[in-house]
Amino acid sequence: MNQLLDKSASRVRRMFATIAPRYDLLNHLLSCQVDRYWRWRAARIARQVRGPLLDVCTGTADLAIALARRTPHDTAVCGVDFCGPMLRLARRKLERLGLEHRIRLVEADALCLPFPDATFGLVTVAFGIRNLEDLDQGLKELRRVCRPEGRLAILEFSQPRRQPWAAIYQWYFRNVLPRVGQWIARNEDRAYEYLPSSVKEFPCGAGLAARLEQAGWRHVTFRPLTGGVATLYQARA
């Protein structure tokens, strides 16, 4: 196994626990703040659904917060992550923003969610689906907890195709991002080398759309964002 791309639960949990204190800073810095726009695009979908909302691999809860801000105050929002240090930072953020009573945080694995079937009207994942040890099981589990006719929104990194943007981005992604990330968030798991490597091997675009359909999702669509740096996937249960 390529140790850099080891996606075992223990390795991924340890990696994110290590970089948690600098996670938000690096997200905004390395994306030049564009990650905020990507989450805004995903959160807009919440206005089209009813029922509780679930954000899986919520990290420090940025997407869960965006969902809460775009839905009525009586709409329940739940954020799930299996990394305790990330959730501790998320709780502090919610308290600072006065959203601690609006968003419920649960420590759990995306491959075995602690919810009954057909619970949520919308399920979202932002930049976490790529890290699942078993992608197909994860997509099926998201489908299991989504209500009939409920919605799915996945944000994930992808690879630009058009030149010269693709070449410029790949140079940045392979040479600048790992060095800056490792310098700011020093860690033994090489998290910011793992990032471009995991994106390169991940089935983006039509590849992930096909896996979503195999997992039982319907009406799957995907839209590249920012020249293909990220992609927003949508589907119905």
Domains in the chain: how many in total?
Answer: 1
Contact 20, 212 (CB under 8 A): no
- Tokens read off for 137: 């099981």
CATH of the domain at 136: 3.40.50.150
Residue 135 has φ and ψ, to the nearest 5°, of -60, -45
Report how far residue 130's alpha carbon sits from residue 201's, in angstroms, rounded to the nearest whole number.
9
> What's residue 1's pLDDT?
46
> What's residue 32's pLDDT?
74
pLDDT digits (tens, 9 = 90+) for 178-228: 676 565 556 555 656 777 777 888 999 999 999 999 999 999 999 999 999
> What's residue 15's pLDDT?
82
Domain extent at residue 148? 3-236
Residue 162 neighbours by CB distance under 10 Å: 11
Percent helix / strand / coil, the chain, rounded to 5: 50, 20, 30
Contact 83, 17 (CB under 8 A): yes
CA neighbours within 13 Å on the CB side: how many for 74? 1
DSSP code of 47?
G
The dihedral through the CA atoms of 189, 194, 195, 201 has a sign that is negative
> CA 10 → CA 7, 16, 67, 124, distances in Å?
8, 10, 29, 23
User: Does pTM surpass 0.75?
Assistant: yes
Ranges of residues in the chain with a pLDDT under 70 are 1-4, 26, 29-30, 177-178, 180-192
